[in-house]
């Protein structure tokens, strides 16, 4: 927030910033502050402050020769991530549906977020008691099977980032000791899957496998969720084989061609 703006104007400030981004995106070439001032009906000083902040954050870039502005690398990255998620959901849904119908358990798909994982898709199981989780729910890396399997196979050092955070738990079974979490991540890397029994909700287990992009990076986790009665801490061979086959199928649809974890 700029020094001449009051807190109750924060929504208006956001609208102005979005207007600037949309105007730059719509332009066929780099634009200058004077052009944006005329187009948006703002003062040159106000536009300059917004442009400066957006450039510092990487949403805009300034040509050092012409001093004109274009879209920044952060927006390109965000656009690529959004595109990847759309592709991921479209190829995952039929595979997830088949897996759910085969095992009768809840199936969800979670992607990477800044401090954990975010649920992108969830299909209720077909058993008498439904176990589900809302799309958009964010879960910590340390106490979820999704988080551990993503940390195990992501190219980015997510485990190293986790070490700098204070780990919290939801139940008495949640892992909040970094060394213990690191050990479980290493185990997930060896086995090709991760489990987190009763760590988020008592009586509920979750087992996850990685979803790998064409470059081998883990961009998401495919997960079975069920009561301890129907999905034990160590899944059955049938459950694990079906989950791995589904994870491999989605990964291959995204262009992954190497050996899928746990299938050697």
Instruction: List the structure tokens of 156.
Output: 């980015």
Report, in this order, helix, strand and coil percent for the chain, each rounded to 5: 45, 15, 40
Would you state the pLDDT for residue 230? Answer: 92
DSSP state at residue 8? G
The span from the CA of 170 to the CA of 221, in Å, is 20
> Length of the chain in residues, anyone?
264
Residue pair 153/189 in contact by the 8 Å Cβ criterion? yes
Return left, alpha or beta for 255; rule: phi > 0 is left, psi -120 to 50 is alpha, else beta: left
Would you state the pLDDT for residue 86? Answer: 64
CA dist 248 to 104, 108, 191, 258, 264, Å?
Answer: 20, 15, 14, 10, 12
Minimal CA–CA distance to 104: which of 251, 256, 229?
A: 229
Residue pair 103/96 in contact by the 8 Å Cβ criterion? no
Mean pLDDT by 10 residues, the chain (264 residues): 51 87 85 90 90 89 89 76 74 95 95 85 86 84 93 89 81 85 94 93 94 92 94 94 97 92 86
Would you state the pLDDT for residue 4? Answer: 45
* Secondary structure of residue 87 in the 3-state scheme: helix
Cα Rg of the chain, angstroms: 22
Domains and CATH numbers, the chain: 7-71 (1.10.10.10), 78-253 (3.30.450.40)
Looking at beta carbons, which pairs linking 174-178 to residues 24 or more positions away fall under 8 Å?
A: 174/142, 174/143, 174/199, 174/200, 175/142, 175/143, 175/199, 176/142, 176/143, 178/142
Would you state the pLDDT for residue 217? Answer: 92
* Secondary structure of residue 155 in the 3-state scheme: coil
């Amino acid at each position: 927030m700029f020094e001449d703006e009051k807190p109750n104007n924060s929504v208006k400030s956001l609208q102005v910033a979005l207007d600037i981004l949309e105007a730059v995106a719509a332009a066929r070439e780099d634009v200058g502050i004077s052009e944006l001032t005329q187009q948006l009906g703002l003062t040159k000083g106000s536009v300059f402050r917004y442009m400066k902040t957006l450039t510092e954050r990487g949403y805009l870039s300034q040509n050092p020769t012409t001093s004109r502005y274009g879209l920044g690398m952060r927006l390109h990255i965000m656009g690529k991530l959004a595109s990847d998620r759309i592709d991921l959901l479209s190829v995952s849904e039929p595979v997830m549906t088949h897996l759910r119908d085969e095992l009768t358990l809840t199936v969800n798909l979670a992607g990477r977020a800044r401090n954990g994982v975010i649920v992108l898709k969830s299909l209720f199981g077909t058993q008498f008691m439904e176990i589900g989780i809302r799309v958009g729910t964010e879960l910590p890396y340390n106490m979820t099977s999704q988080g551990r399997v993503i940390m195990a196979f992501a190219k980015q050092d997510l485990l190293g980032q986790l070490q700098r955070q204070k780990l919290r738990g939801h139940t008495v079974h949640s892992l909040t000791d970094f060394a213990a979490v690191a050990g479980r991540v290493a185990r997930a890397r060896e086995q090709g899957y991760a489990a987190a029994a009763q760590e988020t909700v008592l009586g509920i287990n979750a087992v996850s496998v990685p979803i790998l992009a064409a470059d081998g990076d883990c961009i998401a986790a495919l997960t079975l969720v069920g009561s301890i009665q129907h999905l034990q801490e160590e899944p059955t061979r049938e459950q694990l084989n079906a989950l791995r086959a589904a994870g491999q199928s989605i990964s291959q649809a995204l262009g992954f061609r190497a050996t899928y974890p746990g299938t050697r």
